[in-house]
Structure 1
């Protein structure tokens, strides 16, 4: 029976345990021109030292105006590759695998002037009114995802995650709430995401798994449910997605944290339902900071991998501490072993 500390293999990806650091934007004021800096290097490599099995780098913009803010990282230029390669090499040196989440914020791009979206519908009164993308711009956006994926491969990442959740661009295309187009991208709400996946797959090496993060449920009136998202994601699976990272929210005032009623593991059942319906590996996420709660998710077979976000922001060594608390195998860096005797 697998637990948090059982190695995980999928295609050419081999993880030393089932613990994932999910993408969390750092909003670093030093991320000039989208290039990660010393903060990002220390931030990610310290979690590798701390024993994490897989690190997924924060949402990285495929376009300068695709970032949530101008303080975020990007991968729209070959000049950005070396800084990411430095992070990848550092993480690899401690036996951890690393992926990167590629995305575009769409109407939620706070510093774009103006932001773009499937339709001219603002996120809220505090956000700018977006401009609807033309068909040719949509085609350019798909190419931008592909080119960013090519750069990620060149930087040495072990896997790529496409961001299709939290109210960002792909989510905006596949949600009936935000896509009111009258062309083929409005008549077929899954078309844009499908075409992005197919384009990205063209530049991935054979055996590299593709991950996609989706919001399985929207917390607004008229929002879609898990059945809708699973049916849509069946197309994404057929287009080339190997693993789904299951989250929720993002299209209303309740964001990805689930709101005040959220409890530890509140999104796990969504991940389990995806696993059942699509017969694919899934990553569960959402207030899984407690060691025993995270362990139970894997032991019970509800998800294949467990993502620990805020807990890992508080504690870079969450994985080692979980192992000690749960009597798992402690793989501590030799420089720190005297503290664990």
Structure 2
């Protein structure tokens, strides 16, 4: 069996293979509520035969949204619609039983933004924007309205909002949770000295900068059933020579997450510094995942311009990661897993309605499908 198509156990949750549908912000919600677009978008991905489907970054409070179109999970209407969505994703492919994970987060100073296709820039207050919250009153882009620095009391309230979203996720039938500590959003802002210049116990030293994200994770983990897994996405480096947040500091953070009960580390990078200089290319973040894997025992997920099956297989075969998260390649080709299995000589579970779609030259792509079809 290929490495890519080996199962993986995360607590009581079994992934049938190592391919993960990475969270993809769609900016298509209304008041944080799932819309028809999400049903169509996620419905096709639920038929992908991936090991796990991760829903897009979902805010734990209204001010935690990146844009007006971001999903939220902080009120009953949002929870009710998410519950319907999760049930639908299972019902359209009940045989495969694809695990559904949700990524919970908070935009911090990157909130109050236009959608990407509407410039992506900060929304002025007189045009429907809001005052963002962050570790320190430092704007993300020069000339923007600076965020308000969170007080310790506000941080305690916000932590409980993360816990509330965890509880709502459980009631909605979600199988796993990923805490978003990457891409320049609030938890990453606490970790990075680029955005965190506090002088209290939550700023300055690495220990202090890690304190709040770890407090939030521990509170979330305590509220989540013990048999369900919870992971974290990190930005392993700011790609900014002026920042100390690099692979050494993120490795230490990953070790402490593991001690706190984290079940996987999803290793991305960048997003917090306007001075970042990224060496982009195929698999450009894999070396970060490899470095994290060398210091933790829990599974590590690699992500970032991984588009070819042979490329993904090699990453796992060489011991650089344990899972492969894919986003853009799935948008381009929702059947990426099927094609990968065909090229690597593996079989996958798929909806019975599609068993006849396998080309004759591929052979038995769907393991339980009969060879002959009327």
TM-score range, shorter chain: over 0.9
> 1:285 maps to what in 2?
303
The CA distance in 2 between the partners of 1:24 and 1:110, in whole Å, is 19
Contact 1:289 1:309 in 2 (8 A): no
Picking from 51, 68, 71, the partner of 1:70 is 68
Q: Could you tell me how far 1:330 is from its partner in structure 2?
A: 3.5
The CA distance in 2 between the partners of 1:309 and 1:266, in whole Å, is 15
The CA distance in 2 between the partners of 1:206 and 1:114, in whole Å, is 37
Q: Could you tell me how far 1:2 is from its partner in structure 2?
A: 5.3
CA displacement 1:59-108 (0-9 Å, x = unmatched): 00001110110101000112211221222223334221110000001000
Q: Could you tell me how far 1:159 is from its partner in structure 2?
A: 0.4
* Residues 1:140 and 2:149 aligned together: no
Contact 2:2 2:313 in 1 (8 A): no
Structure 2 length as normaliser, TM-score?
0.86
Which secondary structure does the structure 2 equivalent of 1:319 belong to?
Answer: helix
Structure 1 length as normaliser, TM-score?
0.94
Q: How does 1:1-341 map to 2 (within 5 A)?
A: 3-28=3-28, 31-93=29-91, 94=93, 95=96, 96-111=98-113, 112-125=129-142, 127-187=144-204, 188-223=208-243, 224-253=245-274, 259=278, 261-340=279-358, 341=360
Moved segments of 4+, more than 3 Å: none
Q: Which consecutive residues of structure 2, in runs of 5 or more, have no partner in the other structure? A: 114-128, 361-374
Contact 1:68 1:110 in 2 (8 A): yes
Which secondary structure does the structure 2 equivalent of 1:76 belong to?
Answer: coil
Cα-Cα RMSD:
1.6
Q: Could you tell me how far 1:254 is from its partner in structure 2?
A: 7.1
Q: Could you tell me how far 1:235 is from its partner in structure 2?
A: 2.0
- Number of residues of Structure 1 aligned to a counterpart in Structure 2: 336
In structure 2, relative to structure 1, the CA distance for the partners of 1:58 and 1:127 (3 Å cut) is: farther
Q: Which consecutive residues of structure 1, in runs of 5 or more, have no partner in the other structure? A: none
The CA distance in 2 between the partners of 1:126 and 1:18, in whole Å, is 43
The CA distance in 2 between the partners of 1:91 and 1:18, in whole Å, is 20
Q: Could you tell me how far 1:232 is from its partner in structure 2?
A: 2.3
Which secondary structure does the structure 2 equivalent of 1:65 belong to?
Answer: helix
Contact 2:179 2:231 in 1 (8 A): yes
CA displacement 1:131-151 (0-9 Å, x = unmatched): 111111111111111101110
